[in-house]
Structures are given as structure tokens and as C-alpha cells.
Amino acid sequence: MNEDYPIIVNEDVLTEVFIPDRLFHREGQIRQIERCLKPALKNSPIENIFLLGVSGTGKTTVMKWILENYFKDISAYVNCWKSRTIYEVLKEVLLTLQLPIHGREPTAELIKKLEKRAKKKRIIICLDEVDRLKNIDLLYILARSNCGLILVSTSYHSLLHLTTRIRRSLSLSEIEFPAYRAEEISDILKERVEYALRPGTIDKSMIKMAALASIGDARVGIEILRKASKKAEANNLSKIGFKEVEGAIAEVNRLELLYPVQNLNEHQKEILKILGKKKSISSGQLYLEYKKLVSKPVVDRAYRKYMKKMVNLGLVKADGKGRWRTYKILM
């Protein structure tokens, strides 16, 4: 890399956590969300909302942008991949609202603190990846505590199992985030390039190539740009060319498949190893081979839950039902 003229001038812009000043091609969703949340500024109840769409469609970026710009002092964002229990979520919310806790309080005390705060001023809580919560009753607790809720998920089915009691208490307004078109991702990438890279280091054709390869997922397009830029710098190049973008696309595609695997437990990983050696295997035979591999195998019911999760993550395909069900790996 030429240290005097680096390609990357601000790598933060090429990360998933960066929140841009402008949000492209989500004007309709922004207006809907703002309409639902606006009453909170007058301490009035908001419309609880459910944002859904596949990964990389801007749900998290839009939500963080709106909360940061308009509701910063009365809102809390929680990623339910990281905070999954009722206690962990409540702790994260209270700390964001700058309410002191020592970390040893019982859950009931945290609920009281939140209720006391919500009586004084309306609170908006965003639960991203809400389907990762271990106890969905949290939604009822928060709704009952005078909090407005924003639930975010990639799955259309994540809230189907809610009880009637919770469903009625939430009364959710659904806002959909469709996959981006290639030209829309191009617009997003062009702005990132403007702030992240030295001028003249990448041509429009390479940006278009990254956008087309992202298949509707802005996250993927941004990561392709970042990796291609790093590859060019590592080779001491002054510009990002076809070879660097092509290599970045191949690398990102591999990582996209590996990411869900990192969130599996050891039992699921062992099952995945077995499937990796088989073209197709019956559910019963797979369970028998799994039990031979591990010292303390889970019971049949837990095994079925593990398989369901891997199917939902897109790692495994299931064919047939019951005793005739077969599995094959999709990676």
C-alpha cells in the first residue's frame, strides 16, 4: 500500500454499523415510521410497529437513523442476538436511558425502574432481530409498561406464535422493506465511495459490478467494496480493478454462508459435519450417526428443534415428513 496515497481514507464508512447522513430509496418507509412514532414527542402513545424484510434491506440503518435524529433522549435500541433474555434486554434499555443499575437487581426491580421512567416520559424501544428473544413474554411486559415498541425481523413468521394476549396488547402496524434493486444499491455504494475512498480510485463499472453481485443486499455490496479496497491496498495498487472486485465477491459469498454457522452450538455443528459428508440422509439415520459422535447427545425432541433452526437459517434442506424426512446440506 502506498502510505502517502492510500485508497481507503475512512474505513468506518465501509462497515455495517455506519449510519449515513442520507438514506436512499427508503423515503416511504421513513414517512410511515415517523408517523407512527411522532406522538411520543408529545408524550402520547405511539403505534407499535413491525419492520420486516430480508437481510441488507436497510431496516436497522433506517431505524437507528430515525431514533438518533428525532428520538435520541427517549429511545433505546437493543440487538436481540446479543441480549436475548428479559433481564439482558431490560438492563440494556435502562443503561441506554442512563438509569443507574448495579447488575445484581432481580428482574422485577428492573421492570419497576422502567415503569417509573415511562410514567414520566414516553419511551420507544427498538428490538432488532426480535425472533432471537428467549422469552417472548418480554413484549407484553414492555407494552404494559407504557413503552412504545419497534420490532425488527427478517422473518415473516417470527411473531406467528404470539399468544392472543400479547398480540392484542401490541396491535402492530407492519412496514415492509423489500430487497433493493441493483441500481438502488449502486446509489448507496456511490455515496459510501465518496466518503470512504480517495477520489478516482474506483470506476463506476466496478461499483455496478459490486451492486449486481449483492443480489438486493446492501450489506453485501458494502462489504465487497471494503474487501476489494483492502486487496488493492495490499497489492500497492492506485486503483481498484476487476480482479480485486471479483476476489472480494468470491470471499464475501463464502463468508455469507459461514456467518450462520458461527451461531450454531456444538451439537448442531457436529450434525452439519455429518451432512457435509452425505448427499442425502434420513432424519433417523442422521440422529443415530450424531449420537455416535458426541458423548452426551441431546434427546430426539431437541434434535428436531436443532434441525428446524438449520433449515430456517438456509443451511439445510428438508424433504418429506415424519419418519420419511430426509436432509441435505445447502452450503
- Per residue, the 3-state secondary structure of 58-124, as one string, reads CHHHHHHHHHHHHCHHHEEEEECCCCCCHHHHHHHHHHHCCCCCCCCCCHHHHHHHHHHHHHHCCEE
Q: Which residues of the chain have pLDDT under 70?
A: 1-4, 256-263, 313-314, 331
Tell me 285's DSSP state.
Answer: H
pLDDT at 2: 54
The number of folded domains in the chain is 3
Closest listed residue to residue 271, CA positions, set 297, 237, 238: 297
- The domain boundary, picked from 130, 161, 176, lies at 176
Q: Check: pTM over 0.75? Answer yes or no.
A: yes
- Which pLDDT value is given to residue 257? 59
Residues 211 and 102 in one domain: no
User: Of the candidates 114, 43, 103, 102, which has an alpha carbon nearest to the alpha carbon of residue 76?
Assistant: 114
Distance of CA 218 to the CA centre of its chain: 12
CB 180 within 8 A of CB 215: no
The answer on 220 and 81 residing in a single domain is no
Q: What pLDDT is attached to residue 263?
A: 66
pLDDT of residue 258: 59
List beta partners, residue 152.
51
Cell of 90: 431490560
Residues 318 and 214 in one domain: no
Q: What is residue 102's predicted lDDT score, i.e. its pLDDT?
A: 86
Whether residue 47 is found in the same domain as residue 170: yes
> Do 186 and 53 share a structural domain?
no
The string of DSSP letters for 230-281 reads HHHHHTT-SSB-HHHHHHHHHHHHHHHHHHHHHTS-HHHHHHHHHHHH-S-E
Supply the pLDDT for residue 154. Answer: 84
- Domain region containing 270: 264-329
Q: Which residues pair with 202 in a beta bridge?
A: 240
